[in-house]
Structure 1
């Protein structure tokens, strides 16, 4: 019953998100790996309308880099193509390693250039905002000094209040729409995580834990200690290898589930903060807050202008404009919302990298699944004698030929004079 209720909550959250995010979708390219009628797989690209995943970042470079979030699915990858090659020759292995090194260098240099460009653009935007704020403050001070009568000051105050009210109302409705979208995302993620924990995480963790205990008990029950029997020792070694293999695979399954649960919790926590920071205040309180802030700023400016020769007041005003106001703006809701959105994108990228590492580890475990059954060949004993040099070989060959000539050929063809053969000859003259 509890599982049925969680599934129903997930369906309702998905329906609410689909209803809210109709106007917040964008065109994306979705790559899909499909099988044709001949049984061959091909990657096809489809243009779809999907949900936005990245909402932050100003500037041309930021918008260009953020286009990567529009590409989904089984994206073509040069790195994956190079790593999937399996050459059989030495030249092929050298070519693969060279291609991997070049690919890594290109990716590293490109990422460094992109990071430097993003940092430079962010710095330029902040410097431009600071300069623009200084120009606006100087213009307001100039107009306030020139508006000597109350009529001009009242018109200026009313005009600024009306402009703030119009901008605030427009921003309020935009923020409200964003809040509804982020709240729907948070509820969907919360319902999905509850269902994942009840349907997948807890059962699999319990199953792998029970399998580990069962594998250990089975291994211990089959082990018989007998050092004198070689066959028994070989069987014990084989069972130990099988137990270690199953233990590695079961622990890897637990690691996968723990990693998935960890990133799900992180994403939910970040999404909760985003939904909280995107919540707007009541619209009826907007004019009061705008008028109060405008009157407060006008009173402070009037106090500064009346005492032109007071250096202490001007120092406080300079610190207020250059230190206090930027610090307050940094902890404001829009700035916090932008930081949390960047953090959400960072967590998403970390999750993708973690999934890639887990996939590689899973493929390695599958390749080594039956490796313990293969018979290991003993390496041939290497010749410990040092290799002879060319000079030593030539000298030994020359000595061998010289010995044969002196012992055999020379005695046969050129006998020494003065020796007597007692059997057949009398004396050799």
Structure 2
């Protein structure tokens, strides 16, 4: 390979043992390793952030079981092309068909894949940065094993960079020593491709046959000067969506629209943007304005039905509504506390008066006895406990100081009157 070939390609792993950072899948006794050792490769969907090896692992898996490998992109493969590829698949040797960004396939494309997978015409390996439970139809998902790939941790990034320095001829000629890793790790954000591209950029500023040292200052200087080149493959995705969500949370409609426009101009999937607003409507607005969730839900459905460019109007309307809405994270905090408490106290029994009593024996054992039906009391409220006795006095939900949630405090205060603290 020439020096103009990107560094990630120049040192792309040639064997599964060279993959860094995914030991939970490929280490000794890990599930993928065991399947490959047995010569078995089912249909798979890899879910993980960019630059963690999804494409490379798919290729190496196909090689490990001696199967033809065909790589497609959901961005430029239509139903017609997909069906032609499937029709040409051999009957004796089942090819491994890798589909990058499978979450961008529409229903017709996914249906074509489902038929081929069901008939054993192909072994599907899909890659997605989005939760496949939301984006891949349930029938196709049920026929695939879903494996999560992790962002590379600090040690994995360091190991990757050291391997590059020892293996790549271009880097070896520059006698590079890395004295500080903090900036390299920060800019790469767990992405192997980012880390290697940045190392390649820095190395291109060095001369051959001299001692060259990389420290944090050198990394920051080169990264900031070459940010467009550094992010040429669209890896600003997570930074842009972070800025977008934080602008909504910060009640700034102008910044919200700007970051959304940046994402749309960069080719971001409008459905992804709509989904992020759906989450923000509950996480950052919640019961301070329940209509926000309704509008975001309708936005999500409408964007799927309409598509671009008209979807930009619906996205813009919803984004402004969310940014200018009252904010509250009280229910977000409460459910997180509840999940943590449930994990610690899963052994606690449901109090007898709250239990269902569908049989005579259960009634004899006291199930449902002494339960007070709130609708039989004034204002449809009666004082009684609903938590296990061991958790009496536990309070998970604290209302935010906004009109909608403060109005709901009345019953909360009545419920707490006379309730013993735990």
TM category, shorter: under 0.3
Whichever of the two has the greater Rg, that structure is 1
Taking structure 1 as the reference length, what is the TM-score of the superposition?
A: 0.19
Which gives a bigger RCO, structure 1 or 2 (Cα 8 Å, sep 6+)? 1
The structure with more helix, counted as a fraction of residues = 1
